[in-house]
A and B are shown apart, each in its own frame.
Chain A
Amino acid sequence: MSDVGGLGLKKAWQELNEVNIGRLSGCLGVFEIATTDDEILQIGYAGGRSLFGLRGCVGDVAAEHAGESLQFRTESNMQYISRWKELLMVHLAENGAMPSWNPPSDIDVIGRLGGRQKGQS
């Protein structure tokens, strides 16, 4: 595990429900989806082509997983792609794996924080 603490999202989790999603802005930014045990399942971003920004993107996740008890948190950020990559790198460094709901191809677009082991790609 690498020492990359302090770079991840620190905001409090909110229950993934219609009321909380309705309070989100339509801004660009990043979001995390987690179980009620704080296990991060997905790290995503609301980009320049998203309809209704964070509200739309988090709402899409909620619709896809209706009935499941989940949490979310967001961060409005114009640097949404580099912040998204950073959050994925922090997650990878701290957990040794990508969030389970992120597509496997996401690992192709990120680098590695901290040090690498000899021969590690």
Chain B
Amino acid sequence: MIDFTPTDEQQALIDNIRRFVQEEIIPLEADMDPDAAELPREDFDRLRGMAKEMGLFGLDIPEEFGGPGLNVMTQTLLAAEMTKHRGGLYSPCYGVFGGAGLAQLYGATDYQKEKYLHPTLRGETHGFFALSEPSGGSDPARAIQTKAVRDGDEWVLNGTKLWISGADRASYGVVFTRTGEGRAGITCFIVDTDTPGFQVRRVVHTMRSAHYATELTFEDARVPDKNRLGEVGMGFAIANDRLSAQRIPYSAQCLGVAEVAHQMAVEYSKDRTTFGKPLAARGGIQWMFVDNEMDLRSARMHVLAAAAKADAGEPFRVEAAIAKIAATEAAGRVVDRAIQVHGALGVSKDLPLERWYRELRIRRIGEGPTEVQKMIVARDLLGKIAV
């Protein structure tokens, strides 16, 4: 059996993050709106400064770009820990630890790194990632209809992107366009949001409340060729390479909130009495907890196994897909059971469970829905006959 016990160094980082969440983040949430996704500015600045002093800023930034160069396993363990608060699933520690930015930019030109990547890693600017369109997001090789046509030293972009996070507050975006047929016909560009012809057309409201997606339009938006990211026709590979890697910490985040939900339910069941007995004495409740344990333990193994494979330098696309299915589906079930144990309190905004329930539902769709992950695994098992 593979031993996933954290190393001393990993455990020290986990303990630091756990203490930070408990002592700095959760107390602030007591006074924030239950759906809030941002800290008040003064708290954000104070905690970001504290994170930098503690050496916790930019933990997922690769070493070559000034980060600590943590391996995937460590990043995965920390991702699970950072989400263990009310807003944690989509706003781990409300962003005070900074972030790796858009990993697609790691392969950018020196000019692009200087203008876009480095300011992003310093936390000075934001970018958005625009792959999905009204025609779909899971099958970009076929779904992308936004066209880029070369005109001298520029490209002219026309089309619409949908379900794009953060575009209304970004200064640039990584945009995937069609320049030819099929997979070899996707090309990626970095588009400044002050480009004439680029518009954030509307906000798309979802179950997340404080977070929203946006719809973007490109109408004869002219982008210089020096803003092309990668070679012409290589956009699909740029998108795909990073999506698999991102699925591992994405899965771990789901486990973080599910573990807390499970702990909350267990504790509540010991205190809450019905018909003369604590809930914990009821078989129906006990079995829910057993199901939670099985869900959480098996999902955790899948997530860590994927991280270990990635760190070993082996192909991990199938393992990342299984981790994504296992973690997102299990976390949804665990939080659902935790709500059931809490009764009416579970669906109230007095507790974070209802927020996690809504947000976890989206996780089964985001970053590639469960069914697409199953296609990845099935194709690996069956080969061409499954296509």
Given contacts A113-B168, A116-B193, A81 and B37 within 8 Å (CB-CB):
yes
Considering residues B38, B197, B200, which has the most beta carbons from chain A within 10 angstroms of its beta carbon?
B200
Any A CB within 8 A of the CB of B194: yes
Q: Is the CB of A115 closer than 8 A to any CB of chain B?
A: yes
Is A59 interfacial (CB 8 A cutoff)? no
- What 1/0 mask marks residues of chain A from 20 to 63 whose CB sits below 8 Å from any chain B CB? 00000000000000000000000000011100000000000000
CA distance A10 to B216 in the complex (A): 24
Does A112 make an interface contact (CB < 8 A)?
yes
Is the CB–CB distance between B38 and A49 below 8 Å?
A: no
B191-220: CB near A (< 8 Å → 1, else 0) gives 001101111111101111111101000000
Contacts known (A7-B203, A116-B193, A120-B194); A48 close to B35, Cβ less than 8 A: yes
Expressed in whole angstroms, the minimum distance between the Cβ of B169 and any Cβ of chain A is 4
A contact residues around B115 at 8 Å (CB): none
A29 CA to B185 CA in the complex, in Å?
45
- Cα-based distance from A83 to B209 in the complex (angstroms): 8
Residues of A within 8 A of B199 (CB): 2, 114-115
How many Å from the CB of A94 to the closest CB on chain B? Answer: 14
Q: Are B211 and A82 in contact, with the CB atoms below 8 A?
A: yes
- With A48-B349, A49-B34 in contact, is A85–B203 under 8 Å at CB? yes
**Chain B contacts for A78, CB-based, 8 A:** 209
A91 to B298: give the CA distance in the assembly, Å.
Answer: 49
- Interface residue? B8 (CB, 8 A): no
Chain B residues lying within 8 Å of A114, measured Cβ to Cβ, are 199-201
Chain B residues within an 8 Å CB radius of A119: 194
Interface size on B, residues (CB 8 A): 31
Q: At the interface, yes or no: B41 with Cβ under 8 Å from chain A?
A: yes
- Among candidates A83, A112, A117, residue contacting B168 with C-beta atoms closer than 8 Å: A112
Given A7-B203, A89-B203, check contact A117 B210 (CB 8 Å).
no
Q: Are A82 and B200 in contact (CB under 8 A)?
A: no
Residues of chain A contacted by B51 (CB below 8 angstroms):
none
Chain A residues contacting B203 (CB-CB under 8 Å) are: 7, 82, 85-86, 89, 113
Chain B contacts of A108 at CB under 8 A? 41
Closest to B166 in A: A111
B181 at the interface (CB under 8 A from A): no
CB distance from B277 to the nearest CB of A (A): 32
Cα-based distance from A82 to B35 in the complex (angstroms): 10
Contacts of A86 in B (CB 8 A): 203, 205, 212
Complex Cα distance, B196 from A81, in Å, reads 29
Complex formed: what's the CA distance from A59 to B228 in Å? 54
Q: Let me know if B33 and A82 touch, CB within 8 A.
A: no
B36 within 8 A of A: yes
* B-chain residues with CB within 8 Å of residue A120 when the two chains form the complex: 194
A118 engages B194 (CB within 8 Å): yes
**Whole-angstrom distance between the Cβ of A103 and the nearest chain B Cβ:** 11
In-complex Cβ contact of A82 among B38, B41, B205 (8 A) = B205
CB neighbours (8 Å) of B37 from chain A are 81
Q: Which residues of B contact A72 (CB under 8 A)?
A: none
Q: Contact: B206 with A79, CB < 8 Å?
A: yes
Q: How far is the CA of A112 from the CA of B208 in the complex (A)?
A: 19
Alpha-carbon separation in the docked complex, A4 to B35 (Å): 26
| A80 lies within 8 A of B202 (CB) | no
B205 close to A83 (CB less than 8 A): yes
In the assembled complex, the CB of A118 is this many whole angstroms from the nearest CB of chain B, namely 5
Contacts of B202 in A (CB 8 A): 4, 7, 113
Task: Write out the residue numbers on chain B whose beta carbons fall within 8 Å of the beta carbon of A81.
Answer: 33, 35-37, 209-210
A81 to B92, CA, bound (A): 18
Identify which of A49, A79, A116, A117 contacts B209 (C-beta below 8 A): A79
Chain A hits for B196, CB < 8 A: 115, 118
Which B residues lie within 8 Å of A7 (CB)? 202-203
Given A82-B209, A83-B205, A109 and B33 contact (CB-CB distance below 8 Å): no
| Additional A-B contacts beyond A86-B203, A110-B168 (20; CB < 8 A) | A47-B35, A48-B34, A48-B349, A49-B33, A49-B349, A79-B205, A79-B212, A81-B33, A81-B36, A81-B210, A82-B205, A110-B169, A111-B166, A111-B214, A115-B194, A115-B200, A116-B193, A118-B194, A119-B194, A120-B194
Q: Which 7 pairs across A and B sit closest by C-beta, in order of nearness?
A: A111-B168, A48-B349, A48-B34, A111-B169, A47-B33, A82-B212, A81-B210
In the complex, 6 of the A-B residue pairs with CB atoms within 8 angstroms, ordered by the A residue number, are A2-B199, A79-B209, A82-B210, A85-B203, A115-B199, A117-B194
Interface residues of A (CB under 8 A from B): 2, 4, 7, 47-49, 78-83, 85-86, 89, 105, 108-120
